């Protein structure tokens, strides 16, 4: 049996992973089977020339954006404390992931304990002018995650990412 361990440590991540009700103040779930929506107060990403995106912070200083995963849109929270992109099973289905054949044999270490997850490979993750191919992700039960976290498996494939003057700058 393949056992993988991903670490999700960070301010909201531990809470969002284990206490999805707490995360709803950051990620709205308008209806079941829809991705988490960016809060109304969050500023949309601005696209710079070439391969750059600037994201303004939303409530609590968190960076939310609309990503395109395998050609389908999903709102997510950028989280440097997450080892990989993490999506709940409802969002995974909406993004075209074949969830019926997933094997939930990976262990994800959250702030409040271990959750079983399934490892998947996303063909493409895009935001603005940035496209990253072959991004590792984990699918978690809906009760463990209320939306999508965009973690280090995406960020590490960029040329750079930094916070400058309060904004998150992503460069490919």
The total number of structural domains in the chain stands at 1
Residue 146 has what pLDDT?
87
pLDDT, greater one: 48 or 141: 141
Provide the pLDDT confidence category of residue 25 given band limits of 50, 70 and 90: very low
CATH code, domain carrying 65: 2.40.70.10
Q: Are the C-beta atoms of 152 and 127 separated by less than 8 Å?
A: no
Strand residue runs (E) in 25-112: 46-48, 52-55, 63-69, 72-78, 85-88, 106-110
Is the alpha carbon torsion for 115, 116, 119, 125 positive or negative? negative
User: Model confidence over 99-131: pLDDT tens digits?
Assistant: 999 999 999 986 657 999 999 999 999 999 999
94 torsion bin: left (phi>0), alpha (psi -120 to 50), beta (else): alpha
User: Model confidence over 66-105: pLDDT tens digits?
Assistant: 999 999 999 999 999 999 999 999 999 999 999 999 999 9
Q: Which domain holds residue 37?
A: 5-171
pLDDT, greater one: 43 or 77: 77
As a whole number, mean pLDDT of residues 12-35 equals 38
């Amino acid at each position: 049996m393949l056992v993988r361990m991903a670490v999700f440590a960070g301010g909201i991540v531990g809470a969002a992973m284990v206490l999805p009700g707490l995360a709803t103040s950051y990620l709205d779930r308008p209806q079941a089977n829809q991705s988490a929506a960016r809060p109304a107060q969050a500023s949309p990403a601005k696209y710079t020339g070439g391969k750059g995106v600037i994201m303004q912070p939303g409530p609590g200083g968190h960076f939310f954006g609309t990503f395109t995963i395998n050609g389908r849109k999903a709102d997510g929270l950028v989280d440097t404390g997450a080892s990989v992109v993490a999506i709940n099973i409802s969002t995974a289905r909406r993004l075209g992931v074949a969830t019926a054949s997933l094997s939930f044999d990976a262990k994800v270490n959250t702030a409040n304990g271990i959750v079983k997850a399934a490892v998947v490979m996303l063909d493409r993750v895009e935001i603005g002018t940035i496209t990253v191919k072959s991004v590792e992700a984990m699918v978690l039960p809906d009760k463990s995650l209320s939306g999508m976290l965009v973690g280090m498996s995406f960020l590490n494939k960029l040329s750079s990412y930094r916070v400058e003057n309060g904004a998150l700058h992503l460069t490919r």
